[in-house]
Amino acid sequence: MSTTDKYKEQVQKEVDSIGSELIGLSDAIHDNPELGLKEHRACELLTSKIESHGFLVEKPVVGLNTAFTAVFGDPAKKPKIAFLAEYDCVPGLGHACGHNIIAAACFGAAVAVKKVTAELGGTVALFGTPDEEAVDPLSRGGKVVMAEAGLFDDVDAALMVHPTAGSNAVWRYSFPLKDFSVRYLGRPAHYTVPHEGINALEALLMFISNVNTMKRGWKPDAMFAYTITDGGGPSALTVPKSAEAHITMKAFYSQYLDELHARVEACAQSVAAVTGAKLEMRVISEYKNMIPNLNLALGLYKNLRALGAKTDNPVDSQRALERLTYPGISTDFADVSWVTAGIHGYCSIGGDGLVAHTHEFADAARSERGHEAVILSAKALAMTAVDILANPEFYHATRAEFEQYRAANFANVPGIPPRYLPLPKYFTEELL
Q: What is the pLDDT of residues 228-285, one digit of tens each?
A: 999 998 898 999 999 999 999 999 999 999 999 999 999 999 999 999 999 999 998 8
Q: What is the pLDDT of residues 38-54, one digit of tens each?
A: 999 999 999 999 999 99
Do residues 28 and 64 share a domain? yes
Give the helix ranges, DSSP H, for 189-277.
200-214, 254-275
Do residues 35 and 168 share a domain? yes
Do residues 205 and 283 share a domain? yes
Per-residue confidence (pLDDT) for residue 136, from 0 to 100: 85
Domain-terminating residue out of 287, 315, 346: 287
Domain-terminating residue out of 287, 318, 338: 287
Q: What is the pLDDT of residues 215-226, one digit of tens each?
A: 999 999 999 999
Per-residue confidence (pLDDT) for residue 135, from 0 to 100: 86
Q: Is the distance from CB of 186 to CB of 238 less than 8 angstroms?
A: no
Per-residue confidence (pLDDT) for residue 324, from 0 to 100: 95
Q: At 170, phi and psi to the nearest 5?
A: -115, -10
Q: Is the pLDDT of residue 180 over 80?
A: yes
278-306 b/e with 16+ CB inside 10 Å = b? Answer: ebebeebbbbbbbbbbbbbbbbbbbbbee
Counting the structural domains of the chain, the total is: 2
Per-residue confidence (pLDDT) for residue 304, from 0 to 100: 98
Do residues 148 and 182 share a domain? no
Range of the domain at 52: 3-174+288-430
Do residues 229 and 321 share a domain? no
Per-residue confidence (pLDDT) for residue 347, from 0 to 100: 98
Do residues 38 and 168 share a domain? yes
Q: Which residues contact 229 (CB under 8 A, 6 or more apart)?
A: 181, 244, 245, 246
Do residues 268 and 334 share a domain? no
Q: Residue 206 sits in a domain of what CATH number?
A: 3.30.70.360
Q: Is the pLDDT of residue 432 over 80?
A: no
Per-residue confidence (pLDDT) for residue 260, from 0 to 100: 98
Q: At 326, phi and psi to the nearest 5?
A: -145, 145
CA distances (Å), 189 to each of 217, 238, 239, 398, in order? 37, 6, 5, 63
- Whole-prediction pTM value? 0.94
Q: Is the pLDDT of residue 197 over 90?
A: yes
Per-residue confidence (pLDDT) for residue 137, from 0 to 100: 81
| Residue 116: burial class (beta carbons within 10 Å; 0-12, 13-18, 19+) | buried
Per-residue confidence (pLDDT) for residue 34, from 0 to 100: 98
Do residues 272 and 341 share a domain? no
Per-residue confidence (pLDDT) for residue 298, from 0 to 100: 97
Q: Residue 292 sits in a domain of what CATH number?
A: 3.40.630.10
DSSP state letter for 252? S
Domain-terminating residue out of 230, 256, 287: 287
Q: Is the pLDDT of residue 337 over 90?
A: yes
Do residues 193 and 156 share a domain? no
Element (H, E) at 29: helix 19-31
As beta bridge partners, residue 125 has 71, 82
Mean pLDDT value across residues 106-128: 97
Do residues 25 and 104 share a domain? yes
Q: Is the pLDDT of residue 106 over 80?
A: yes
Higher-confidence position of 169 and 77:
169
Q: What is the pLDDT of residues 295-305, one digit of tens each?
A: 999 999 999 99
Per-residue confidence (pLDDT) for residue 74, from 0 to 100: 86
Average pLDDT of the chain is 96
Mean pLDDT value across residues 347-376: 97
% pLDDT > 90, the chain: 94
Do residues 87 and 49 share a domain? yes
Per-residue confidence (pLDDT) for residue 233, from 0 to 100: 87
Torsion of CA 134, 136, 138, 140, to 10 degrees: 0
Do residues 306 and 374 share a domain? yes
% pLDDT > 70, the chain: 100
**pLDDT confidence bin for 377, thresholds 50/70/90:** very high
